[in-house]
Amino acid sequence: MLRAPWARLRNGLLGLLLLVGLALPLGLGWAGFTPPAHALETGDLNRASSDRCLPLDEAEVIGFFERWNQALASGDPNQVVQLYAEHALLLPTLSAELRETPEGIRDYFTAFLARHPSGEVTHRLIRLGCNEAVDAGTYRFTLHDPEASVEARYTFVYEPEGGSWRIVHHHSSLQPG
């Protein structure tokens, strides 16, 4: 006699789980909420839960590189450092030293910006994930004082932090000869 109530309870729980399992992927209810696209510009990233994927497309990732290149053109290492996350890792092109603090990143770019670099992507591949974007490929830098052109491979990894998308990992290495 005890089996019947347990069976009804089990069937009721299975039905509830099935209903919830169908409702969540369909975006019904609170769990399907995604922040609006303007969240990227308004600072809503601070309020976005890490368990929700923020919207991002390839054009925005291309814009991240353009913003970084403009910061280089400013000649101000502080503008460049602001684009990196607090915990970012930089494996720079023209230095063997790993840079894993804002101070280390600033130190590298202070020397690099003295050469008045201008970067141009020559080939890229973008991969988008949940709250992460990877931009990898090759770029060419024109340097001055002394004049030089540097061909390098690169990887930028971006994640949302502190109200905007920031560089969490940047690896750049000279193209093999």
Provide the pLDDT for residue 51.
67
Number of domains in the chain: 2
65 and 116 part of one domain: yes
Tell me whether strands 164-174 and 84-91 are parallel, antiparallel or unpaired: parallel
Tokens of 107: 């130190």
Dist. CA 169–CA 1, nearest whole Å: 63
101 and 24 part of one domain: no
Q: Let me know if residue 127 belongs to a domain.
A: yes
82 and 145 part of one domain: yes
Q: Domain of residue 77: give its range.
A: 58-174
Q: Let me know if residue 121 belongs to a domain.
A: yes
108 and 152 part of one domain: yes
Provide the pLDDT for residue 13.
36
pLDDT tens, per residue, the chain with 177 residues? 444 443 443 444 334 333 334 333 334 333 333 334 433 343 445 444 556 899 999 999 999 999 999 999 999 999 999 999 999 999 999 999 999 999 999 999 999 999 999 999 999 999 999 999 999 999 999 999 889 999 999 999 999 998 899 999 999 999 998
Residue 169, Cβ density class (10 Å: 0-12 exposed, 13-18 middle, ≥19 buried): middle
Provide the pLDDT for residue 162.
82
136 and 92 part of one domain: yes
- Identity of residue 39: A
24 and 64 part of one domain: no
23 and 68 part of one domain: no
Provide the pLDDT for residue 89.
98
Cα-Cα-Cα-Cα torsion 106, 108, 113, 114, nearest 10 degrees, comes to 110
Residue 54, Cβ density class (10 Å: 0-12 exposed, 13-18 middle, ≥19 buried): buried
13 and 63 part of one domain: no
Tell me whether strands 148-161 and 84-91 are parallel, antiparallel or unpaired: unpaired
Provide the pLDDT for residue 6.
37
Dist. CA 93–CA 112, nearest whole Å: 10
Q: Let me know if residue 37 belongs to a domain.
A: no
Dist. CA 165–CA 132, nearest whole Å: 9
Contacts of 21 (CB under 8 A, 6+ apart): none
Q: Let me know if residue 87 belongs to a domain.
A: yes
**In this structure, what CATH number is given to the domain that contains residue 100?**
3.10.450.50
112 and 151 part of one domain: yes
11 and 85 part of one domain: no
The H-assigned helical ranges of the chain are 3-23, 39-42, 58-74, 77-81, 102-113
Provide the pLDDT for residue 3.
44
162 and 89 part of one domain: yes
Provide the pLDDT for residue 50.
59
11 and 87 part of one domain: no
